[in-house]
Chain A
Amino acid sequence: MAARTIPLAIVFFFGVLMTVQFYIPHPVSQRLYEMVLDWMNGVSAAAIILAVGSLVKHHWRKISRRENVVYSGVTLLAFFFMAFLGLFVSIAEDSLFQTLFANVQVPLQATMFSLLAFYMASAAYRAFRARNLEATLLLLAAFVLMIGIIPIGYLIHPKFADFAQWVLNVPNMAAKRGIMIGVGLGAIATSVKIILGIERNWLGG
């Protein structure tokens, strides 16, 4: 019972409660919504401790097996140092914690993502072959967008940028809206299935 019935009862109770409260415009209902949101933020925050625990366990195991000792050591050292600064020293604007964030984490992350520009270009070169009408449309839309938002687009034709913006605002918007409506209907159907206990994959084996 504790393994399956109680979790299903919790899902049903909170699912129905939070759906119904949305349609009750009363301060008590609003207060309940805010309290459950606080609870959700707190419970989600506890999950990160678990995630971080797995990371530490993984690298600690590697160090004990003498595999990639230096790299795993760097990860653990950086993690404990940053966590110590953030939890026990200060996270103020001018703290070492924020300085490390701005001068180590941000540049590393930005450079890592900027590398994708090279890999996306090479992937596009291999994938973008105008083999049929669908692939040609995809290729043309991407080309128009990429050229249209840089100065060379204006040099090719003064209206090129406007055309790129039109592609973004009109046909792209139609595609996005169709997808969003489809995804929205799917999300609602999945949520109802979870609340009613029809969808139980999350319980695992």
Chain B
Amino acid sequence: MHLSTDPWVWVAAILSLFIFSFLYKDNPLYKFAEHLLVGISAGYYLALYWHNGMYPNIIAHVKDGNLWYLFPLFLGLLYFAIFVPKYAYLIRWPIAFLLGAGSGIAIPATFQASIYKQLEGTLLNPLNTYPSALAVFNALLIFFGVLLVLTYFFFSKEHKGVLGATSRVGIWILMIGFGASFGYTVMARVSLLIGRLHFLLGTWLGLLRF
């Protein structure tokens, strides 16, 4: 056993144990660590947004004499109108800008990434382009799978008859997808847990051999 001599490793280890103490029950040590995390994260992101968002995207341009950048600076300041009840409605202006520009950018971008690219990947190619019979089977399964899932999301007609049957198979495919996503997420969390235990038992206590 070789205990770590780095004080920061001790800090990280003790705080990790404070969080794990919640597995027993809610307690003051967990609450301390939780509130510390909220404070540290808020401070971290405030500084990060200033250095990576506000300063390079707005302030630096204004300093260089580009007065077009006074417009977003003005819009950004309007967020603080919320603190003056008489002018609180002005907070809608920066929100309107973000919503409008965001929606405008999202329409072609979403079409490209979520619709065009997905359809391109789903459509079947000539048979001789597939390397094996299994690849053909997989491509057919994906093609019909996507069609069946889409029929489940088609709500303009009651799910009866053929549409009822196809949408039911669509649900089965969705369930397999949800199950796979759930399993994957669980394993991601377990791998985080292994990482933390590795840190506590290895880096901190020196019980593990690397």
Q: Taking beta carbons and an 8 Å cutoff, which residues of A are in contact with B?
A: 2-4, 6-8, 10-19, 22-23, 33, 35-50, 52, 55, 70-72, 74-87, 91, 97, 99-118, 120-121, 124, 133-135, 137-146, 149-150, 166-185, 187-188, 190-192, 194-195, 202-204
Q: Which residues of A contact B93 (CB under 8 A)?
A: 6-7, 10
Instruction: Specify which of A3, A10, A50, A86 is in contact with B44 (CB 8 Å cutoff).
Output: A86
| CA of A2 to CA of B192, assembled, Å | 50
Q: Taking beta carbons and an 8 Å cutoff, which residues of B are in contact with A?
A: 8-9, 11-13, 15-16, 19-20, 22-23, 31-51, 53-54, 57-58, 61, 68-69, 71-73, 75-77, 79-80, 82, 89-90, 92-111, 113-115, 118-119, 121-122, 138, 141-142, 144-146, 148-150, 152-153, 170-187, 189-190, 192-193, 195-196, 199
In contact, B180 and A141 (Cβ under 8 angstroms): yes
Given contacts A39-B69, A117-B190, contact A105 B176 (CB under 8 A): no
- 10 smallest beta-carbon distances between A and B, as pairs: A86-B47, A175-B177, A174-B145, A82-B43, A178-B149, A18-B104, A184-B114, A141-B179, A78-B39, A46-B76
| CA of A144 to CA of B53, assembled, Å | 43
Query: How far is the CB of A143 from the nearest CB of chain B, in Å?
Result: 7
Q: Dominant SS at the B interface?
A: helix
| CA of A99 to CA of B44, assembled, Å | 11
| CA of A70 to CA of B100, assembled, Å | 43
Q: Which residues of A contact B94 (CB under 8 A)?
A: 43, 46-47
In contact, A191 and B106 (Cβ under 8 angstroms): yes
